[in-house]
Amino acid sequence: MLLLTLVLAAGPMNTKPIEDELVKKFGEAQRVRVERGVRQVAALWRKDDGDLAAFAKDNFLVEPKELDDTFARFEANFEQLDGHLLEIGRELQKPTALDLGPLLKVDPYFAEFDPSAHLIEDLFNTKLGFVVLLNYPLTTLEQRLAAKDWSRAQWAQARLAGRFARRVPAEVQQQITSAQAAADLYIAEYNLWMHHVLSEKGERLFPRGKRLISHWNLRDELKANYADQGGLEKQRTLIKVMERIVTQSIPAAVINNPTVDWNPFANTVVAAAAGTIEDDAPKKVLPPSTKPEPEVRYKKLQANWASQKKADPFSPTAPTAIDRAFSLGAEMPEARVKELLESVLESPLVPQVAAQIEKKTGRKLEPTDLWFNGFLPRGAIAEPELDAKVRAKYPSAQAFAKDIPRILQGLGFPADRAKYLSERILVDPSRGAGHALQAARRGDFPHLRTRVEKEGMNYKGYNIAVHELGHNVEQVFSLYDIDHTLLAGVPNTAFTEAIAFVFQAKDLELLGLGKPDAESERLRVLNDFWMTWEIAGVALVDIEVWHWMYDHPKATPAQLRDATVEISKRTWNKYYAPVLGGKDTPLLGIYSHMISYPMYLFNYPLGHLIAFQIEEQVKKTGKIGPEIERMAKFGAVTPDAWMVNASGEPVSSGPLLRATEAALKK
């Protein structure tokens, strides 16, 4: 049992008579538990819930064995509830998430349906939620961060009670799910046919059939063009495309439409010649027009905010979506996260690393170099060569699935553990860029999703698949091998991203394209620093945009667009323009996560910092597999507790900064 007290407002009712009656019945030794439990219940009890005094008298548990047995019953039953409801949702979303052919009109409606939307409300209505609050302690973020000697059972009890810290009505939860599903589908279908995106001079730069989703594939295409002799012109074209998307000056007719040619510099649109149009062009396309896409991008963002805001009144300890993202989701205060990001953004190492990049490119840096990847071996290999190698190896999603045991052994997993993991990971062809979808009960399996074109998987799809495999491995270990399923997972999404980054960094090695030597290891450190610097500013933009929406609740989508552009420009001018030029570019607003994954982006720079700490620990043993297994099985404790167990120190930017400084001196 946790012997921690949590001071909660007693609410509108006077709970003292109930507390006194329970103490009289169960003894003075139970006073602390009685007062805490009754007040926790009273804070969320409604008039139509009935007689609180009678409920408390009937359901307050005293005997240690009964408390332990009741906890075990909740844990077992919640695994089944969570797991099966997740499976139902996954099946309903399959047509919109996977590349299974044209969508039916009903598919987006099924994707928006959340079978778990009523779960918490139903658990309160049946009094199960109140049984938990009456008998197990709620904890504050401060208490969890300060916990040094909690047992695993204490952590699991804290997670059990934490499920009932808020009582969000089912209709509000359903609106949140619907808004996110609609935004996700919008992003999943936001493709550009690059053969029809022209250079500033009106020339075709990209091969026929190349279809890129925003923003992931656009960014990865830009990275790939460092190995192309004429790559700079392509990169500048991609930058202009991204800027048009952020400012919503992109013509609606060019989105997912290979029947028109678009010059993003002049912003002109003409009909494509018949011989240039791809055979698999969508049936429904818009005619040539420069009419911009309406503020759809910002309508989706605003809809996500509006749905999250409806949950605010039911979250007294975290009254905004921003608060919930940090204190309930990340379990790290916003101020600390921003401090970590700014320690990288403002580091004096930035111009020193930039000078290394200038030597490699032989030119003055520009906004394209935000995504410089020439530190890594793949930056020197042309994209067509990588695509050909990957397509030959993985003509289908299932071909990748069959190769997972070999991949995992290449990462240092023993053969038996590689087999164990591969039997619990399913691979699907994604309609969007790709993602990993966890399981929530033992007996169900995580799904790895990545894009597979009709010619087979290309390098972008493979690179994403290796990243998602890292998520899936963590998801298997932190569910199937955990001691308490209430602790399944990791502290926050930054940690699973960190593990995925560790896997992704080995993608070329797993393709048989060489192992790192001392110099490539030095360059890897510089690459990690540059990637963290890049995404840290994007994360700050995301956070500030959400603050702006709360500060301007009556804003129109057009005003949100203008504010996002302004915030992106201001952040760029402060941190990036001194290094990359391009004053007033809105480039930092391009990330699709801003639209479809509310308040998520800060997890990426945190993930890079954590990934570096994990990699440093892995280097001590030389084996990724056993170390990842040891770390992942620690489960969903607080970030610093997890990291201390993993590497011996809390989450910090220090290891990355120190290693970068050393790499620059070598």
Q: Where are the beta strands (DSSP E) in 451-592?
A: none
Within a 13 Å sphere around the CA of 103, how many CA atoms are in the beta-carbon half? Answer: 21
Residue 312 to residue 318: CA distance in whole angstroms: 8
Average the pLDDT over 549-555 and give the result: 98
Residue with the bigger pLDDT between 23 and 621: it is: 23
Positive or negative CA dihedral for 468, 603, 85, 420? positive
- The pLDDT of 550-579, averaged and rounded, is 98
If you write DSSP's letter for every residue of 17-79 in order, what string do you get? HHHHHHHHHH-GGGHHHHHHHHHHHHTT--GGG--HHHHHHHH----HHHHHHHHHHHHHHHH
Q: What average pLDDT does the structure give for the chain?
A: 92
pLDDT exceeds cutoff 90 at 16: yes
Q: Judge contact between 666 and 356, C-beta under 8 A.
A: no
Q: Is 190 helix (H, G, I), strand (E, B) or coil?
A: coil
Using alpha carbons, select from 481, 442, 472, 424 the residue that is nearest to residue 78.
442
Kindly give the interhelix angle for 603-621 and 654-665, rounded to the nearest 10 degrees: 70
Q: Say if residues 102 and 280 touch (Cβ distance below 8 Å).
A: no
Dist. CA 546–CA 629, nearest whole Å? 36
Has residue 2 got a pLDDT over 60?
A: no
* HSE, side-chain direction, 13 A CA sphere, residue 19: 20
Strand 426-429 versus strand 434-437 pairing type: unpaired
For 456-489, letters b (16+ CB in 10 Å) and e give bbbbbbbbbbbbbbbbbbbbbbbbbebebbbbbb
Which amino acid is present at 221?
E
Q: What is the pLDDT of residue 505?
A: 85
Confidence of residue 378 (pLDDT cuts 50, 70, 90): low
Closest CA to 603 of 468, 472, 493: 493
State the burial class of residue 228 (Cβ atoms within 10 Å of its Cβ: 0-12, 13-18, 19+).
middle
What number is the average pLDDT over the span 155-169?
94
Residue 139, exposed/middle/buried by CB under 10 A (0-12, 13-18, 19+)?
Answer: buried
Residue closest to 285 by CA, chosen among 264, 255, 241, 262? 255
* 432: confidence class by pLDDT, cuts 50, 70, 90: confident
Q: Which pLDDT tens digit goes with each residue over 571-630?
A: 999 999 999 999 999 999 999 999 999 999 999 999 889 888 888 888 787 778 999 999
pLDDT at 379 over 80: no
Strand 260-263 vs strand 211-213: parallel, antiparallel, or unpaired? unpaired
Q: Dump pLDDT digits (tens) for 642-657.
A: 999 999 999 999 999 9
Going by pLDDT thresholds of 50, 70 and 90, the confidence category of residue 219 is very high
Residue pair 588/568 in contact by the 8 Å Cβ criterion? yes
Give the tens place of pLDDT for each residue, 282-338.
Answer: 877 889 999 999 899 999 999 999 999 999 998 877 899 999 999 888 999 999 999
* Sign, Cα dihedral of 237, 243, 247, 253: positive
Let me know: does 251 contact 290? Beta carbons within 8 Å. Answer: yes
User: For residue 427, is pLDDT > 90?
Assistant: yes
CA distance 159 to 138: 9
With a CB cutoff of 8 Å and minimum separation 6, the contacts of 213 are 187, 188, 190, 191, 432, 433, 451, 592
Strands 426-429 and 447-450: parallel
pLDDT at 634 over 60: yes
Residue 5 pLDDT grade (very low, low, confident, very high; cuts 50, 70, 90): very low
Q: CA dihedral defined by 421, 426, 431, 432, rounded to 10 degrees? A: -20
For residue 507, count other CB atoms closer than 10 A to its CB: 22
Once rounded to an integer, what is the mean pLDDT over residues 446-467? 92
251-272: average pLDDT: 96
**Could you read off the pLDDT of 26-84 as tens digits, one per residue?**
999 999 999 999 999 999 999 999 999 999 999 999 999 999 999 999 999 999 999 99
C-alpha distances (whole Å) from 590 to each of 177, 261, 580, 587 are 23, 22, 17, 6
pLDDT on residue 380? 64
Contact in structure between 465 and 434 (CB atoms under 8 Å): yes
Determine the Cα–Cα distance for residues 499 and 611; give it in Å rounded to an integer. 6
